[in-house]
A and B are shown apart, each in its own frame.
Chain A
Amino acid sequence: MIGMLFALSLITYVLFYALPVDPARLTCGVHCTPTAIAANRERLGLNDPFYLQYWYWVKALFVGRDYGTGFVQMHCYAPCLGYSWNQQQMVSTLIAGVLPVTFYLAIGAFVLWMTVGIVTGILAARYKGSIFDRGVMAITLVGFSLPSFFIGLCILIFLVVRWQILPPPHYTPPTENFVDFLGAMILPWTTLAILYAAYYTRLTRSQMLDTMNEDYIRTARAKGLREKIVIRKHAFRAGLTPIVTSAGLDFAGLLGGAIVTERIFSLRGIGSVSIRAVADLDLAVLVGVTLLGGTFVVIANLVVDILYAAIDPRVRVK
């Protein structure tokens, strides 16, 4: 797990190091002289060989690092992800500032799509072949095929601009005003949830149809259990594992930044920061958010593994 994160950081670092850009030139400004560039290069530590630069970066993660020469002295506390010269900010501070937005976006959408997806999926499986099931299958196909920028823009244009049902979303932290927070988040949540709910409806439905054919479902019916209980306690539980796997990874993926949705609804989260870092070729921020995203995926994998054991006793190790 640690090894995976290490490899991830190295690959990201190498990838951006290999880019044909000179950060020293980029941070220099319009009226730049070769002397200024050289000074910049020295200041950014770009004269050190690559492996040293990487080593300093990794070291900073654990023990922190001092930046600046001469009159500006800064200390970056561990876990230090480096300093963004573009943003004039520590990367960790930058990320800490925007992470809550992404987190709220992800968790709200997650709850929404899981509830809708699982409930609809179970119902569709139970009434397989009915008009309801066919309708669900058609709608989910459409929902799943639509790109999030399309859904997001449609919602924004029709609900906010054209019909003015909802006020234009303006992010407010939940600690400040919870109602405003909900008002700002409901549209991005819905946008993300439509996309994922379509997928989870189909996943749940196919899982349920699979498990409904199992022998133990027949046993449950032979016991005289109500169909409701057969489905909820026996079939759903057995089909839960792949749903949990997907859910864990999708949630972690969203924590790494929902770039399109954040941009459309002007939410300043990890996604927006990443996009800006790419545009600015801001290496420190890019490596930082990539590593963060990777960490979320690794943690999600761990959580999924633990949940497996909770769901399936055969996985448990004595």
Chain B
Amino acid sequence: MSEISMEGKMTNSTNLMVPSAHEGEVILSVEDLSVSFKTDDGVVQAVSHLSYQVKRGQTLAIVGESGSGKSVSSLAVMGLLGSETSTVTGQVHFDGKELISSSADTVRRLRGLKMAMIFQDPLSALHPYYTIGKQLVEAVTAHHKVDKAAARARALEMLNRVGIPSAEKRIDDYPHQLSGGMRQRVMIAMALINDPELLIADEPTTALDVTVQAQIIELLRDLQKEFGTAIVLITHDLGVVADVADDVIVMYGGAAAEQGPVREIFYQPEMPYTWGLLASIPKVGDEGQLDPIPGTPPSLIHLPQGCVFAPRCSFRDQVPNKACATVRPDFVATGTNHAARCHLTKEQRQIIRLDRKIGK
């Protein structure tokens, strides 16, 4: 599993399942998930062999640049990718079922009831023509045979719970009458209204003010504590990750580049891309310029033959035989709960970390 294959040809990366270090019942188990889209320019390999588990009450953060496959992988879990345009393979175990092979209707019945999702821009994610009350009520009645009054009472309760002031009045407002933060609260209320076991939050704070971001994250954390929801948090904000995540997957070019408990990702990162991400966080008191990762993300239509990150990696010369350019590294365990996709040896990585003061 952990041996680097030296055939020269691109091998499919192993889909190593990295166990979570935390206690608890596994709510969601994604195994060897791959997603591709057929486009006029060719096949876009948006997600390649992704595996992860999320346990009850835990938060898994998926971080990466735009186009790294973090959103697409979550939409695939939710069954929200159109079957005409995309091909999804692998397994998603949730609620005792395997979702990829299940019928569209089976997955639909789980959506909104046992697994819910919130999106990046709450203004465009809420229907502009319906009141928030109506949209919340619809989320209840889609899964429960209750009368309108009961559903509305539940909607009101959730609006109060997510901190909408004077919710009795606000419930009849349209989305455009609310502020961005309020709209995202409404989205959260809508997602959690049926008390789901899993919440996927796709960059829930990206479109919001910084002050509001903190409130929304705080709210999510409170609600998670209260309901024991498992959260998959998609973000590129490492500050948020450090704040709320239990486990982290760093995605690059559609695949997991590194995965591990949040402390290890921040204090003992094993992969040059993660190093780059950490180095590009602005720090208070730091003089001079930020340290961005050079280059641009790879095209998902023509992925590099070797390591996907190699063209941007400053350490590729340290690996013998130009292996970085020719051999795709496997996803290899570097600790009990930690894995990374890199040709550098453990010693080399340790030296580089010390040298560059990476991870503390």
Contacts and interface: CB of A to CB of B under 8 A. Distances in A.
Interface of A: 128-129, 214-216, 218-227, 229, 234, 237-238, 311-314
Interface in B176-233: 176, 187, 190-191
Given A218-B80, A314-B174, A314-B176, A224 B110 contact: yes
A238 B127 contact: yes
B9 interface: no
B143 to A, nearest CB: 6
A225 B127 CA distance: 14
Contacts of B125: 215-216, 218-219
A128 B116 CA distance: 27
B168 interface: no
Nearest to B105: A226
A151 B204 CA distance: 55
A224 B112 contact: yes
Main SS of chain A's interface residues?
helix
B124 A223 contact: no
Nearest to A234: B127
A216 B127 contact: yes
Contact of B174 (A129, A225, A313): A313
Contact of B128 (A224, A225, A226, A238): A238
Contacts of A311: 129
Contacts of A129: 84
Nearest to A216: B127
A216 B80 CA distance: 13
- State the 3 A-B residue pairs at the shortest beta-carbon distance, nearest first: A224-B112, A224-B111, A215-B124
Contacts of B110: 224
A222 B111 contact: yes
Contacts of A222: 78, 80, 111-112, 116-117, 119, 191
Nearest to B131: A313
Contact of B111 (A128, A214, A221, A314): A221
Contacts of B143: 224
Contact of A221 (B80, B84, B174, B176): B80
B290 interface: no
A313 B131 CA distance: 9
B142 A223 contact: yes
Interface residues of B, number: 29
A238 B113 CA distance: 25
B142 A224 contact: yes
Nearest to B121: A215
A312 B108 contact: no
Contacts of A238: 127-129
B129 A225 contact: no
- Residue with the greatest number of chain B CB neighbours at <10 A, chosen from A229, A234, A313: A313
Nearest to A235: B127
B257 interface: no
Contacts of A215: 119, 121, 124-125
Interface in B99-145: 108-113, 116-117, 119, 121, 124-129, 131, 138-139, 142-143
A224 B124 CA distance: 18
Given A218-B119, A224-B113, 16 more contacts: A215-B119, A215-B124, A216-B125, A219-B126, A221-B108, A221-B111, A222-B111, A222-B116, A222-B119, A224-B108, A226-B108, A229-B142, A237-B127, A311-B129, A312-B128, A313-B128
B119 A225 contact: no
B84 A225 contact: no
A92 B94 CA distance: 73
B127 A220 contact: yes
B80 A223 contact: no
Contacts of A219: 119, 125-127, 187, 190
Contact of B129 (A221, A224, A237): A237
Contacts of B131: 313
A312 B119 contact: no
A276 B126 CA distance: 55
Contacts of B128: 216, 238, 312-314
